[in-house]
Structure 1
Amino acid sequence: MLATETLKNKSVVYVIDNDQTIRESFSLLLGENGYAVSCHENAESFLSSLDATKQLSISCALLDVNLSNLSGIDLQRTLINKGINLPLAFVTGSSEVATAVAALKQGAFDYIQKPIQKDVLCNLVAEMLFKAHLDRQKFAEANAIKALFKTLTSREIQILELVVAGRSNKQIGLELNISIKTVEQHRSNIMEKLQVKRPSGLLHLVFKYQKSLPHNQTNYTP
């Protein structure tokens, strides 16, 4: 696991709660434990803060369900619609099961009822920030893989799809009406562009690329 102190230095914890006492309490506790904290009394202030910082830091959020204007659940849904992915934990006085289920179904990291013990809060924040760190790594890796696939020509993509389907060089040549030597050259170019040395490495990279695609996209078209 990445060192906790390293994560603290690169992260920010957002606290969104309309209760000033809660905001000040969480800010003081987390600040004493080395975390940078950004407090907001409503969803609108929090969203404006995100827009201004462009999420340069690894971050997570502690939020209440019963915020004024935009509720905590609505804020969670807004973040999802904006494509903003950061771990959220609801720390709330509400014990409504339906609300907790809705939050968790939408991907909330946790749903904890107030009051929350100090060590529980700090451990929760540490776990969320580590998840945010891993998510950022996965996002960067997915983008790097997508960049490699964008270098392929339409013909190379066509051949790659046939390779993944299990076709031999001879079968590919017959299907595309090209020579085996030409197929071999294209396969060599594909391997070089995708920076893999073995067929197994190629298949592994293809599967990782497919996992990064939207659910409605099934081919390798950039």
Structure 2
Amino acid sequence: MSDRKRIHLVDDEESVRRSTSFMLRTSGYEVETYASGMIFLEKVEEARPGCILLDVRMPGMDGIKVQAELSRRCVDFPVIVLTGHGDVVTAVAAMKGGAVDFLEKPFDRGVLLDAIERSHQRLETGEHVVASGGEATRRIAMLSPREQDVLRGLVRGHPNKTIAYDLGISPRTVEVHRANAMAKLEARSLSEALRVAFAAGLDG
């Protein structure tokens, strides 16, 4: 039996499965590929524990629905959601569904490997959130009222321009508040910021 960390790659594009699985195998991972969410769900009961790389835009059953079905079946493998059409709405849906991270194609190799390593740490330790509710609440309290307003807009799935319109400020000002908020939250990505917001019970 291999002791290499396992990846379940679910993507309907053969070229993506081929190139990504090659990159991951040469990085030391064991990779299983699936051409659709339905195929993966048919085999997941027998699958050995590992991180799931799950494409969002797939025919028949998209990644968010696959994620929901995994949750319904109590399959607790960490999920990293991949999309070539990334938007905040999808990121919010993925993170609310319990995704560890959200990456846009074409993704940077280093960013992907970092996300996978964090996913496997969660698999090994059983941790499900980046911060406890108390720690997340403490971080949120460090934000200015306007930074909290911007974060709430992100939690609602709104892009910067919509948040700017709703708050009566410029998109550039939203970008500044968003960057400041992420720094205070110690979040390196939108997905990390969303995890802190959800852990603190921050709603839109």
**What TM-score results when the alignment is normalised by the length of structure 1?**
0.54
Q: Does 2:86 correspond to 1:95? A: yes
Contact 1:16 1:43 survives alignment (8 Å): yes
Distance (Å, rounded) in 1 between the aligned partners of 2:111 and 2:88: 21
SS, match of residue 128 in structure 1? helix
How many residues are matched? Answer: 126
Aligned sequence identity (%): 29
User: In structure 2, what is the equivalent of residue 132 of structure 1?
Assistant: 123
SS, match of residue 50 in structure 2? strand
SS, match of residue 95 in structure 1? coil
Distance (Å, rounded) in 2 between the aligned partners of 1:49 and 1:40: 9
CA-atom RMSD, angstroms? 1.6
**What TM-score results when the alignment is normalised by the length of structure 2?**
0.58
Contact 2:4 2:29 survives alignment (8 Å): no
SS, match of residue 15 in structure 1? strand
User: In structure 2, what is the equivalent of residue 59 of structure 1?
Assistant: 50
Contact 1:14 1:40 survives alignment (8 Å): yes
User: In structure 2, what is the equivalent of residue 23 of structure 1?
Assistant: 17
Q: Give the deviation of 1:10 after TM superposition.
A: 4.8
SS, match of residue 9 in structure 1? coil
User: In structure 1, what is the equivalent of residue 198 of structure 2?
Assistant: none
Q: Does 2:74 correspond to 1:74? A: no
Structure 2, gaps ≥5 residues long: 128-204
Contact 2:12 2:36 survives alignment (8 Å): yes
Alignment of 1:159-170 (within 5 A): none
Distance (Å, rounded) in 2 between the aligned partners of 1:77 and 1:35: 26
Question: Residue deviations 1:31-83, cap 9 Å, x none?
Answer: 00110000111011111221233x3xx31111111111111000000000001
Question: Residue deviations 1:5-43, cap 9 Å, x none?
Answer: xxx825310111111111111100110011000011101
Amino acid aligned to 1:120: V
Aligned in 2, Cα 1:10/1:32: closer, same or farther, shift over 3 Å? closer
Alignment of 1:146-185 (within 5 A): none
Largest Rg, 1 or 2: 1
Instruction: Indicate which of 42, 48, 52 corresponds to 2:42.
Output: 48
